[in-house]
Every structure is written in structure tokens, then in C-alpha cells.
Amino acid sequence: MARCARGSAHRASVPHSDDFTDGFQIANWRRPEHFLDPVIRQASSTFAQLPASVVEPAIERLLADLASGAWHRRYTDVLNRDSVDYGYRLLIAGR
């Protein structure tokens, strides 16, 4: 935990493992094929806020990259990690 500049508050990183069962977007960081499912995309605020004109071509590119193996080659370093840091922080205030 990193000590914050003021008071007795502490900041802790919240790493994300690849076995999250929650459906929020970051839970699928090692499972890009999940984003091909429109139900999963609809549950994601990121996808839900984007127009179809942005999402549909991106999903087509993802589908092609997964089929060709390009996605896995491009992100081999990510796939070899146990967890990732997406910038989530837990702030803990002391008494």
C-alpha cells in the first residue's frame, strides 16, 4: 500500500486476476472472445455508450484477429500474466 500525502489514508492497487466471474468489462481481459457476445457487450457501460458505427467494425476486427491468431500473437505478454493493473485503487482512511 502506498501512503497518501494527507492524513492516515492509504491507497492500495486492486489487481485483476483472470478468473473474475463478475461480468464487468475488465473481467474479460484474457477472454476477448467474450466481447463477441452481444449480451456481454450490452452489459458493459463502455460498449453500451458507443454507437454501433464504432462497435460493429471493432467487433469484426476482433473476430478476424481471433480467427487468424493475430490477437493472441499481439497480446502474448498479456496472456502470460497472472493479473493486470487497470488503475483501480482502494482508498483506506484511518481514524
Please list the alpha-helical segments (H only) found in 1-95. 38-42, 45-49, 52-68, 70-74, 76-79
Higher-confidence position of 53 and 79: 53
Mind listing the pLDDT tens digit for each residue in 9-42? 888 887 777 676 666 677 777 889 999 999 888 8
* Residue 69: per-residue pLDDT: 97
Query: Could you tell me the CATH number of the domain that includes residue 41?
Result: 3.40.50.150
Q: Does residue 69 come out as left (phi exceeding 0), alpha (psi in the -120 to 50 range) or beta?
A: left
Q: Domain total for the chain? A: 1
| Residue 23, domain extent | 2-92
Higher-confidence position of 4 and 51: 51
- 8 Å CB contact between 74 and 68: no
Residue with cell 449480451: 39
In sequence order, the β-bridge partners of residue 11 are 2, 91
> Above 60 in pLDDT, residue 6?
no
Mind listing the pLDDT tens digit for each residue in 63-83? 999 999 999 999 999 888 888
